[in-house]
Structure 1
């Protein structure tokens, strides 16, 4: 989960004197220079990667599986989330100059897209669980995907909008030209932040551990060349999620429960750094698909061929065909595994 409201720590940092050295000065430098740079890099790389995912799954794969639908929805949510980062980068480097109405829209849409991303990630997790562990019914499950796959995505977006209503209500432009949430009464902040942590971080994390534990047990009992690749994918997805999300969410929860940390400058610097890392999750997904997904790499080379940039396309395609031939010798459950896990 990415915490969207500008915390009190960050608001304090803006008021520090740049000429004063010490922890306050270092925190200010991080806020005014480190965050905008990280936001910009994340935005540019993330938009490029997620646009590529949408092109591949819409125009090359034609959304053939339920996983394809969910991945395209995830890329859409990540892309819309990334579009809010330039506004936040400008605010970090300067002030909020876009008005009160724009403040509510950006903060609200920021949270909508974040919820959509995390809920879709959870849907992908359960989709993989069913496809791999329920071999006898998974084919019927996949055949009915178009009847309710897009409907699930609509439900996810509607739920995300409802969950983000507090951001639309409480976001406002402050007296110092800052865009953040003002909670009245203050205890509402604890309730809303706790809810956001549960939906945006703990929920997906619990789902991943539960589902991927069952998936791992199934794959360990399978005998195929795909087993180790699939286990590697599971391990990579979980580790990346934990590394990018756990530090920031743990710090935010600590600060909300104990207000004394608001005056700790080292904690302020930790929030700024871990926030930037948490936001990187939106641009890391395309990289995961490319390095561990056979189908994604194959279609990437197709795009390069269509653009006249891939001279080695035929050789790579032959390699993919050889891999597909080997795949025909595996069991039914392992075929489903390869479809759901290794061909993202």
Structure 2
């Protein structure tokens, strides 16, 4: 793939597997496993993230700060997803799209990976403010929405700056076939350090700090959303850890010694954990959008508008209308302490 947080330079495989039989087995495994995984991520991610964008743009109209964040998140994931067909073809055959496309796709992938992680941080901080500082967040709603737009723009700009090494040093090299990547050891080390910091340790640290305080606040609250909100918190953290930690851990271990590059087991570990990391773009729409009552209500409006499952859509809308009415009749404190009162 393109990004070293999800990208593994194929040249490392070709140069490190000295045993020809193991090398052949590994290439066969990669040629089957990676395209299949890319296809699953492409289809599921494209459908899920496109659906989120359509609903937020045409139905929810970006009325809140959360809406702003949850439009930028699928947008970042979608641009990454659109690069998958190129990497799928390259994983089966070789890189045939030229040096310029190599640089562009490396940059696009990295840009959207960093943006996605920074937006996840913004969502976490936003939930922290809404739950822990509920009254202040409610009184400064318009101001927070404006700041949120600035933060999203800043996330894209910062991500672009950190993507420059991939754009500048990305190149096509011929080993046993043409490969797109960055092949200098010092560049790979720098990129790895940036990606592990910005793409894993920073989001993880923010999640641990913010969600710890949020959990304490929810446990003291009497809102009817408390238990549901706690479940969502654990799901958010669990999703991040289960999808991102294995790949980052394997990369971190491998970076400590070049001996690991020659171990076939580590090459298989990189491929499998990379595939697990990709699942993030498929699961983000479910976790960050469909948990919201308002989003699900608008989803069934969309289903009805396009003529699919009309009776089910009406039934669902009626259910959500009743749920929303009950929600609005509760106290402001109960609403404020809901993790995803979308």
TM-score bucket (shorter structure)? over 0.9
Is the partner of 2:181 in helix, strand or coil? strand
Residues 156 and 292 of structure 1, relative CA distance in 2, 3 Å threshold: same
Residues 199 and 283 of structure 1, relative CA distance in 2, 3 Å threshold: same
Tell me how far 1:257 sits from its aligned partner: 1.6
State whether structure 2 residue 104 is matched by structure 1 residue 105: yes
Residues 16 and 306 of structure 1, relative CA distance in 2, 3 Å threshold: farther
What is the distance in 2 between the residues matched to 1:5 and 1:270?
11
What is the distance in 1 between the residues matched to 2:315 and 2:251?
49
State whether structure 2 residue 179 is matched by structure 1 residue 178: yes
Q: Deviations over 1:240-293 (max 9, x none)?
A: 111010000111111112111001101100100110110110111122246533
What is the distance in 2 between the residues matched to 1:290 and 1:162?
29
The residue that corresponds to 1:332 in the other structure is: 332
TM-score by length of 2: 0.93
The residue that corresponds to 1:6 in the other structure is: 9
What is the distance in 2 between the residues matched to 1:267 and 1:244?
18
The residue that corresponds to 1:234 in the other structure is: 233
What is the distance in 2 between the residues matched to 1:109 and 1:290?
24
Is the partner of 1:173 in helix, strand or coil? strand
Is the partner of 2:178 in helix, strand or coil? coil
* Partners of 1:133 and 1:333 within 8 A in 2: no
CA RMSD of aligned residues (A): 1.9
The residue that corresponds to 2:48 in the other structure is: 49
Unaligned regions of 5+ residues in structure 1, if any?
Answer: none
Is the partner of 2:320 in helix, strand or coil? helix
Tell me how far 1:329 sits from its aligned partner: 4.6
Is the partner of 1:223 in helix, strand or coil? coil
Is the partner of 1:179 in helix, strand or coil? strand
What is the distance in 2 between the residues matched to 1:105 and 1:205?
29
Q: Deviations over 1:82-121 (max 9, x none)?
A: 1111111111111000001110110111100100000011
* Partners of 2:17 and 2:23 within 8 A in 1: no
* Partners of 2:131 and 2:337 within 8 A in 1: yes
Tell me how far 1:330 sits from its aligned partner: 3.5
* Partners of 2:8 and 2:270 within 8 A in 1: no
Residues 290 and 156 of structure 1, relative CA distance in 2, 3 Å threshold: closer
Query: Comparing 135-144 with 51-60, which one deviates more in the overlay?
Result: 135-144
Query: Comparing 244-253 with 289-298, which one deviates more in the overlay?
Result: 289-298
Tell me how far 1:14 sits from its aligned partner: 9.1
What is the distance in 2 between the residues matched to 1:321 and 1:342?
15
Query: Comparing 261-270 with 140-149, which one deviates more in the overlay?
Result: 140-149
Residues 142 and 290 of structure 1, relative CA distance in 2, 3 Å threshold: closer
Is the partner of 1:182 in helix, strand or coil? coil
* Partners of 1:100 and 1:173 within 8 A in 2: yes
Tell me how far 1:306 sits from its aligned partner: 0.3
Alignment of 1:1-344 (within 5 A): 2-6=5-9, 8-12=11-15, 20=21, 23-175=22-174, 176-183=177-184, 186-289=185-288, 292-309=291-308, 310-338=310-338, 341-343=340-342
Residues 7 and 342 of structure 1, relative CA distance in 2, 3 Å threshold: farther
Tell me how far 1:192 sits from its aligned partner: 2.6
Query: Comparing 72-81 with 170-179, which one deviates more in the overlay?
Result: 170-179
